[in-house]
Amino acid sequence: MAPSGLHGKKLLLVIAGGIAAYKMLEFIRRGREAGLDIRTILTAGGAQFVTPLSVAALTENKVYQDLFSLTDESEMGHIRLVREADLILVAPASADLIAKMAHGLADDLASTALLAADKPVLIAPTMNVQMWANAATQANIATLRQRGIQLVGPGKGDLACGEVGSGRMAEPADILAAVGNLLGLRKAPLQGKRALVTSGPTYEPIDPVRYIANRSSGKQGHAIAAALARLGAETILVSGPTREPDPLGVTVHHIESAREMLGACEAALPVDIAVCAAAVADWRVADASDQKLKKDGSGSAPTLQLATNPDILAGLAAAGAKRPKLVIGFAAETEKLIEHAQGKLARKGCDWIIANDVSSGSGTFGGDSNLVHLITRSGAEAWPRMSKLEIADRLAQRIAETVSTTTHQAHRPGASE
């Protein structure tokens, strides 16, 4: 059954190459019955499986194919196609087009329009099982998810190539339901909530060219910010130096030092949720030099006097009237994981601790997977090893369930879970 409330919504549909393209004729029929206004970009590969005439007849709109068409660009340029849409759907999303999206290529109308997109994007991947499992494809998918692009499917089953496994495109009804969800027909669980996330390392200057830092990549914190935004939260990300792209739909404040991070966090209050995933340096140089420190020829190393950095997690947990309903910290430990995390929970006055092992060989710092325990006052909950994106989604869902059923009173420091 088609989602109600789609009448008048504008969808830009990109049909890429793949035998599953024929299913999009059924999708278009269902979408039009539900009231969608559908404009279509048909790639050269897509046109091998469905004709422009059939797509145009069902959408009752012109089909766009050529980036350099003088007529199309003068009447409805690719930028206008994107700007007038409420949502962009790529279905089927081929391995080739997914790779172009991940790497910012723009060599045809579809990839150029997607690079210019300022609207939510939903993709329905389909390909051979080995192509889907390939490390390059999975890396591209992870990149797109980090940027806030949504997926529907793929499912498992018989594939057109004769093999069986993951890579089967979602059915038209499932794609239409996903379109309805993204267009806001179902209230997001964190809609109306504000979330603050910290991520990455901090750099504490020694002099203008040297600093104290750590190995945090920011992958987990950025993934959490993106996951909270996908659930509808107005999300603020305070990030130390990292190579991670800014998540789509998230307000990002870039900082370097712990004191700068504290200032940005305090400026973001009040919020409903605070997740302190950043690896904040515990110490800084008390009196950093404004000139590069030089060797004096004596062979002696300079003495650095360290000062303690502000405790951002404890500060947010003790923020009085501005205290978030839910304050979550991270404990990166190399030994006695649960014991140290439980101690941190008690000292900081926060509600939850996500404990993870960052010892040598764990692959956590800089890696794409994580093994964590959720520590509350009720005990420790072990989660299986997952990708950092999967951990972010699971944590965001748990946050949504908790915030919707608790009050500020229930999450005072010392309150029971």
Catalytic residue at 161? yes
Please enumerate, by residue number, every residue annotated as part of a binding site: 282, 292, 310-313, 330, 344, 348
**Amino acid 161: pLDDT:** 60
Average pLDDT, the chain: 87
**pLDDT value at residue 77:** 67
Contact 388, 219 (CB under 8 A): yes
Considering only CA atoms, give the Rg of the chain: 25
Task: Return the top range by mean pLDDT from 159-168, 277-286, 288-297.
Answer: 277-286
For 188, residues 6+ apart whose C-beta sits below 8 A from its C-beta are 230, 231, 232
Nearest to 403 by CA among 231, 236, 250: 231
Domains of the chain and CATH, by start: 10-182 (3.40.50.1950), 194-411 (3.40.50.10300)
Distance between CA atoms of residues 57 and 61, nearest Å = 7
CA atoms of 350 and 42, how far apart (whole Å) = 52
- Rounded to an integer, the average pLDDT of 221-240 is 91
Catalytic residue among 161, 265, 276, 350: 161
Which parts are annotated binding residues for CTP?
282, 292, 310-313, 330, 344, 348
312-321 confidence digits (pLDDT tens): 999 999 989 9
CB neighbours of 328 closer than 8 A, spacing ≥ 6? 273, 274, 275, 276, 350, 351, 352, 353, 354, 395, 399
Q: Which of 156-170, 329-343, 401-415 has the lowest mean pLDDT?
A: 401-415
Amino acid, single-letter form, for residue 237: L
> Percent of the chain, pLDDT > 90?
62
262: enclosing H helix or E strand: helix 258-268
Specify the long-range contacts of residues 391-396, CB closer than 8 Å, at least 24 apart.
Answer: 391/220, 391/223, 392/220, 392/223, 392/224, 392/226, 392/227, 393/227, 395/224, 395/227, 395/275, 395/328, 395/354, 396/190, 396/224, 396/227, 396/228, 396/230, 396/231
pTM of this structure: 0.66
